[in-house]
Amino acid sequence: MTKLDTKIVLNRPAEKPVAAVILLHGMGADYNDFVPLVAELKLPISVKFVFPNASVIPVTINNGLKMRACYDILDFGDLHREVDTRGVLQNVAKINCLIEELIAEGFKPEQIIMAGFSQGGVIAYYTALASEHDLAGLLVMSSYLPDISLLDVVKIQHKNFLPILVCHGTQDQIVNIAYGRRAVQHLQAFGVKYQWLEYPMQHSVCATQVKDISKWITQIFVK
């Protein structure tokens, strides 16, 4: 399996990290997209942020145009997106390897948060919900769950302890908020607890959301 291209950013370079956040970008962006978020979060603890770069692939709904994407999107409707499930699973496998690398470095699973925006959020969902490890948390921004059949229901039902924060913009023109609501409805059906936050924004991240994410991360690690 090809090793992921990643960018590492420490919010407090002089201190040893006590936690790690893997944050995946959306389609058409790259691993630099969320680097500014590290400083904006103003976290009170030292965190290692890992930003994986998605591969450059042809995207069907964009007329085959090549761009960075976690997987191909074949078609989409009002509440459904047909995606390349093989590509989804390949990326989940890569992120699982990245989690193992962090554990080998000395991080405990309960020190690792899985996060993602848009397409990255899809991979974050599948990775955290089906992980063999008890991760610290799952952060999903402006995303969706395209294929529930990919999830192991038995594993999901054991994720009641997992802190989950799902954020979405009410004016999202790329991933309609209905997609996000449908995803958390599935979580609810599985008996998984989550926190849902809406913001008056498009397919992006806003200042209020950044403050909410900072508070959420802090609550996980600062007891």
Q: Which residues have CB under 8 Å from 43's CB, separation 6+?
A: 11, 214, 217, 218
Determine which one of 25, 72, 118, 131 is catalytic: 118
Determine which one of 203, 204, 212, 214 is catalytic: 203
172 classed as catalytic: yes
Sole residue written with tokens 């047909």: 82
CB atoms within 10 A of CB 149: 6
Contact 159, 205 (CB under 8 A): no
| CA-wise closest residue to 163 among 19, 64, 31 | 19
Determine which one of 33, 72, 84, 172 is catalytic: 172
Q: Which residues have CB under 8 Å from 133's CB, separation 6+?
A: 99, 103, 109, 112
Buried b (16+ CB within 10 A) or exposed e, 44-70: eebbbbbbbbbbebebeeeeeeeebbb
Q: Please, what sign has the CA dihedral across residues 117, 123, 129, 131?
A: negative
25 classed as catalytic: no
Q: Tell me the catalytic residues.
A: 118, 172, 203
